Amino acid sequence: MIERTLLSVLLGGAPAFFGQALPTASRAGDAQIGVGYSNARPGYLPQSFQGIAAYADFDLRPHYGVEAEFHQVNNTGSYQSFERTYEIGARYLRTYGPFVPYVKAMIGRGDFDYPYGETLIGYTIYAGGAGADF
């Protein structure tokens, strides 16, 4: 009788010996998307161009990520001109609680449409940056 009681206590109490919980959720990284307002001054016109900006980030753990950006600004006057950029690149980040400083390096394309659609030119562009998310 004592052996049965001891055996049932040992077998019934076996899960208590494994105190670590199994993970209930996991993720591949953090994703962010955003939109904004852009204002640019091309330098050859006295007017400013206004438009939109959008970005998307996917940060892998613990320190690396990818970012894509898009900017388009249009002439608000009668010149019918615009500037547009598309960029993609890598981010390196560190996490200090809610404060996440980062640096990034990007490559992309920049398009410029001369007034009245006379010609559209495009360039390969390189960009670097630093900032912090909070």
Domain range annotation of the chain: 30-133
- In DSSP terms, which residues pair with 110 in a beta bridge? 85, 123
Q: Quote the pLDDT of residue 5.
A: 59
Cα torsion 72, 43, 109, 31 to 10°: value is -50
Rounded distance between C-alpha atoms, residue 40 and residue 105, angstroms: 22
97 secondary structure, DSSP code = T
Residue 25 CA, chain-centre distance (Å), reads: 22
23 secondary structure, DSSP code = P
Average pLDDT per consecutive 10 residues, the chain (134 residues; last block may be shorter): 58 57 74 92 79 93 91 83 93 91 96 81 94 90
Per CATH, which fold does 30-133 belong to? Answer: Porin (2.40.160)
Rounded distance between C-alpha atoms, residue 2 and residue 10, angstroms: 12
pTM: 0.71
User: Contact 85/65 with Cβ under 8 angstroms?
Assistant: no
Rounded distance between C-alpha atoms, residue 67 and residue 84, angstroms: 17
